[in-house]
Amino acid sequence: MLTKVTLAVVASALAFVLTGTSALACAGHEESAKDAAAKAEAPPPANAVTATFRVNGMHCPGCEERVQNALHRMNGIYKVDVSLANKRVVVIFDKAKVSAEAIVRAISFAGFQAEAEV
């Protein structure tokens, strides 16, 4: 009896390994992951601009994340690169949807002093 149970467990494990782990995920989750990857790789539109902001008050990775989250919530932000070491944030954004002044306000609202660099 023990041999039959062991054989059944081994067969189940082998079937799992051979079919891969994707059988456990539903199709909707796989599609959303592919969509997210496609959006991340999509180039910004032609009217996108890049601006650099000096940010004072960041002292840890949590500060970086707070600034990044504040900017990603804004409509028209395509990419945010936060550098704790340089105290700078580089933002690619749609100038028709958001302004540099609005970005400074969002960073300030997150608790940091910011100014656009020319």
Record the tokens describing residue 106, joined without a space: 């969002």
Expressed as residue numbers, the domain containing 75 is 45-117
pLDDT digits (tens, 9 = 90+) for 23-56: 343 334 344 444 444 445 567 777 899 999 999 9
pLDDT digits (tens, 9 = 90+) for 87-116: 999 999 999 999 999 999 999 999 999 999
Note whether 36 and 49 are same-domain residues. no
pTM of the full structure: 0.63
Note whether 8 and 50 are same-domain residues. no
In angstroms, what is the C-alpha Rg of the chain? 23
Note whether 30 and 83 are same-domain residues. no
Note whether 54 and 96 are same-domain residues. yes
Note whether 96 and 109 are same-domain residues. yes
Count up the domains in the chain and report the number: 2
DSSP 44: P
Helix (H, G, I), strand (E, B) or coil at 27: helix
- The predicted pLDDT at position 6 comes to 53
CA atoms within 13 A on the CB side of 102: 15
Note whether 62 and 77 are same-domain residues. yes
Note whether 26 and 65 are same-domain residues. no
Separation of alpha carbons 68 and 12, rounded Å: 44
